[in-house]
Every structure is written in C-alpha cells, then in structure tokens.
Amino acid sequence: MGASRSIVCHPTESQPEAAIVITDESVQTNGRPTEAPGRDEQLSELLDVLRDRASRPLEEAKALPPAFYTSEALYELEIEHIWRRSWIHVGRVEELANPGDYIKRDIAGEPIVVARGRDGQIRALSRVCQHRFMDVLDGAQDKGNAEAFACPYHKWSYALDGTLQGAAHMSRSALFQRDKAEICLPRFQATTWQGFVFVNLDPAAPPLSDVMDHVEAKMGNYNGEEWRLVDRIEWGDTPANWKLVVDNGREAYHHIGTHLESLEPLWPAHMVDFEPLETADFFFARMFVSPEAAIGQEDGHYLNPLLLPPAPNLTAFERSNYIVAGIYPGFILVPGPDAMLTISFVPTGPRSHYVELDILAHETALADPDLQEKVKEYRDWLMQIQGEDAEAQVAVQRTLSSRLTLDGGPLSHLERAIWTFQRYLAKRLLGE
C-alpha cells in the first residue's frame, strides 16, 4: 500500500504504517491508541499540515483535518495571531448616531465598549475597570446611551472617552491623588468603512483600508454609506468552530445539498463566479440568479428577484447577482440589489462561535410605508438560510470527534475560497 495515499476507506487493511491521526485528545497509529503527544508536539504537527495545504495548487487542494476544528492549542494561537490582530466588525455608525451611544462587544475574550464621545469621535474602550477589574457595563443593555460609564462595583466613573472623571472615598489615597490623571479605560483602535464600525485589539495593526481598498474597488455602485441597518438577527452562540463558518460561507458548493430547496434554485452552485484574487485577506464572488428564478431580463442579464425596494443606482449586471465578499476573519458582506447583508462572527471557544446577521436597506427604501413588513419577510427567509447553514456547521462539528484517520477530502474548484483561506491561515499562523 502506497504510503502517500491519504484517503483510507478500510483502515485496518490499508492504512499506511506511519499514518497519524491527529485529534485534540490523542494520537493513534493504525487505529491503535498510542501515548498522546504533548501539546506543543500536536500543535507543531498541525502547523506542518497547514504548511502542506498552503503549498498546494488549487487542483491538489484538500480540506483541513478534524483537529483543526477542535484543538485548544491551535485555538489559542488563532486568538493571538488572528483575532487579536484583525479588524473585527462591531456594528453600524447609525447605531452610534449621538454622543453617548454605545455598543458592548466581546472580542477574543476582551470586553469592549464602542462609544461616540462628546467630540463626535467613535472610540473602542476596554470595559475593565482600573480599580478592581469589574466590567463597567456589567448588567447594562448591549447597546444604549450613557452619560458616562459608572462602574457598578464602587462607582468609579469614566467619561465617554475613557478618562476617569470621579471616584468616591479616594481622597486619603496619596497614590490615587498622584496617579488619577493617568487612570483611564484602555483604548483600542476603531475605524469605520462605508458606515461599518470595526475594532482592532492590536495597536500596531495595519489600517483596515489596506484590505478594504481592494474590496471597494470591486463594489461598483454599491456603497455601504447609502444603506441603513433595518434589522439584526442575533443568532447567538453556536457549537461549531469559527473556521467551519468561514469554510461554509466561502463556498456555494453546498447549495446543492444544504440549500437544495432554498438557495440552489435561486443561485445555483455552478453559477457562482469567484474572482481569482492575489490577496489572501478576503475573497470576492458573485452569485448569479438562475434563468428560472429571474424576474426578467435587461441588457442580456437575468434579474434577481426582490423582496425589499431595490437601490436605484445599480446597473442591470449588478441587479443580476448578489456579491459575497468575505473579509477574514469574521465578516461576510453580501450586497444585493434590494438588501445588503452582513454575517459577523467571533469565536467563543475552540468549538463555538457567536454569530449575528444584519439586514441593511438602501436609504431610498426607508420611504416605503410597507418597509417593515417587507423586512420581516426578508428576515424570515434569512433565518431559514442561516438555520440550514448552522445545522450543517453543528453537524460537522459533531462528527469531528471521530477517531478515524480523517485527512480531509479533495476540494472542488467551487471551494476555491477555502483553499485561499488555508493560505491566509498559514500566513497568519506560520508567518510564511
């Protein structure tokens, strides 16, 4: 039996001598448990596999093995090198319209509040009180308006820009009196792009525009600044590794399975067009409507059906498809003629993530008296699609605990973005 063979259907007969099964708990050879390797050893094996995946041409591409979706050591590395160093979508500027408007978020275990200050600036602040580490917004709504942030524990109070503005019973502390001007809620980088607000925990991170300039150049007449948040689906914590969401959201191959009755008739898998991108920090695809589901034709383009009032400034080509732009690690932007959707997720553990979906309507649609009703219909449809996706992700996570030799199957050309995602992971985790 050739040692290079990687897919083994009859493990006891055909597994190569040296075949290694990497799970998060143990290593086996030929199906027999052996002593589990150390955490470092296991991580280094995973990184070797990643190096292999990232070096393959698309025609040789294969999925990552299960341990990539369960390993705690790898998860910690991802948090450090990806999630604590990347721009994470946290909401829309219209949610922070007035001074004092705030949004609470937790990113990679870091409790954050994003707030508009009295000077009009949007800032991302730590919610960790500088006294004895209480969450200064513990028990508060996830978003709202505040005059200041008063810690519920001993009532130290911070201004909207994070500076300490008051603390009771501290007059006898010489230390406090000396240092009080320096005490503040730590700040993180915050920025906006087309009305979307992003936070980065890394003070040295390159600007978001490094990636978004490339995305923007492909967006044609779509401009997020003309769109408004009209609904949010807080789908919540889901028991699946965050990379399963990336894998799932970056291919339309699964339309023929997971979404056979819903998306496949609308945007058939074979009609999704991926741009062959040079950068690995995002991918860009277009899902074209099928002739059968189209509501008509214009300039030779089949037109996508509409649930919300469409944006008025789009070409016939732009009205023939929905864009899918996946910005790594946790933001998927899906602009279509009648709605701009976003899927935003953050990991909450090696085997779980939090996800929410936003529905944006074009600003001109706000005049439609029936908009709320139409948004409700859109929401119901999106809930169905998200339900199908989440079910698939959770089902895959369940089977990942199998101890069989599972090396990852070959990828279709329709899974091109999973292949580029592996290259992104390698760049971030291996620094190569």
Q: Among 358, 389, 407, 415, which residue interacts with Fe ion (rule: CB under 5 A)?
A: 389
* Closest CB to Fe ion among residues 78, 389: 389
**In the bound complex, what is the minimum distance in angstroms from residue 248's beta carbon to Fe ion?**
6
Q: Which of Fe ion, ligand FES, none binds 394 (CB below 5-8 Å, type-dependent)?
A: none
* Closest CB to ligand FES among residues 134, 316: 134
Q: How many CA atoms lie within 13 A of 369 on its CB side?
A: 0
The closest alpha carbon to 222, from 297, 286, 149, belongs to: 286
SS (H, E, C) the chain: CCCCCCCCCCHHHHCCCCCEEECCCCEEECCEECCCCCHHHHHHHHHHHHHHHHHCCHHHCECCCHHHHCCHHHHHHHHHHHHCCCCEEEEEHHHHCCCCEEEEEEECCEEEEEEECCCCCEEEEECECCCCCCECCCCCCCEEECCCEECCCCCCEECCCCEEEECCCCCCCHHHHHHHHHCECCEEEEEEECCEEEEECCCCCCCCHHHHHHHHHCCCCCCHHHEEEEEEEEEEEECCCHHHHHHHHCCCHHHHCCCCCCCCCCCCHHHEEECCCCCCCEEEEEEECCCCCCCCEECCEECCCCCCCCCCCCCCCHHHEEEEEEECCCEEEEECCCCEEEEEEEEEECCEEEEEEEEEEEHHHHHCCCHHHHHHHHHHHHHHHHHHHHHHHHHHHHHCCCCCCCCCCECCHHHHHHHHHHHHHHHHHHCC
Stretch touching Fe ion by CB under 5 A, among 89-97, 222-230, 335-343, 386-394: 386-394
Instruction: Kindly determine how many residues on this chain lie close enough to bind Fe ion according to the rule CB under 5 A.
Output: 1
**In the bound complex, what is the minimum distance in angstroms from residue 176's beta carbon to ligand FES?**
12
**In the bound complex, what is the minimum distance in angstroms from residue 356's beta carbon to Fe ion?**
16
- Binding to ligand FES by residue 156, rule CB under 6 A? yes
Q: Among 81, 131, 232, 379, which residue interacts with ligand FES (rule: CB under 6 A)?
A: 131
* Closest CB to Fe ion among residues 110, 388: 388
Q: Among 20, 27, 77, 134, which residue interacts with ligand FES (rule: CB under 6 A)?
A: 134
144: three-class secondary structure by DSSP: strand
CB 218 within 8 A of CB 325: yes
Q: Among 154, 214, 232, 379, which residue interacts with ligand FES (rule: CB under 6 A)?
A: 154
Stretch touching Fe ion by CB under 5 A, among 47-55, 174-182, 360-368, 385-393: 385-393
Q: Among 16, 26, 45, 153, which residue interacts with ligand FES (rule: CB under 6 A)?
A: 153
Residue 134, C-beta contacts closer than 8 angstroms, at least 6 positions apart: 128, 151, 152, 153, 154
How many angstroms separate the CA atoms of 276 and 144, rounded?
42
Of residues 96-125, those binding Fe ion (CB under 5 A): none
**In the bound complex, what is the minimum distance in angstroms from residue 177's beta carbon to Fe ion?**
58
* Closest CB to Fe ion among residues 264, 389: 389
- Binding to ligand FES by residue 132, rule CB under 6 A? yes
* Closest CB to ligand FES among residues 12, 171: 171
Q: Which of ligand FES, Fe ion, none binds 389 (CB below 5-8 Å, type-dependent)?
A: Fe ion
* Closest CB to ligand FES among residues 156, 419: 156
- Binding to ligand FES by residue 128, rule CB under 6 A? no
Q: Rg of the Cα trace of the chain?
A: 24
Q: Which of Fe ion, ligand FES, none binds 81 (CB below 5-8 Å, type-dependent)?
A: none
Stretch touching ligand FES by CB under 6 A, among 61-69, 129-137, 247-255, 376-384: 129-137
Of residues 284-343, those binding ligand FES (CB under 6 A): none
95: three-class secondary structure by DSSP: helix
**In the bound complex, what is the minimum distance in angstroms from residue 285's beta carbon to ligand FES?**
47
Q: Among 54, 129, 160, 375, which residue interacts with ligand FES (rule: CB under 6 A)?
A: 129
**In the bound complex, what is the minimum distance in angstroms from residue 199's beta carbon to ligand FES?**
22
**In the bound complex, what is the minimum distance in angstroms from residue 100's beta carbon to ligand FES?**
20
Instruction: Kindly determine how many residues on this chain lie close enough to bind ligand FES according to the rule CB under 6 A.
Output: 8
**In the bound complex, what is the minimum distance in angstroms from residue 149's beta carbon to ligand FES?**
10
Distances (CA, A) of 239 to 70, 118, 351: 11, 40, 6
* Closest CB to ligand FES among residues 80, 147: 147
* Residues lying near Fe ion in the complex (CB under 5 A): 389
Interface with ligand FES (CB under 6 A): 129, 131-132, 134, 151, 153-154, 156
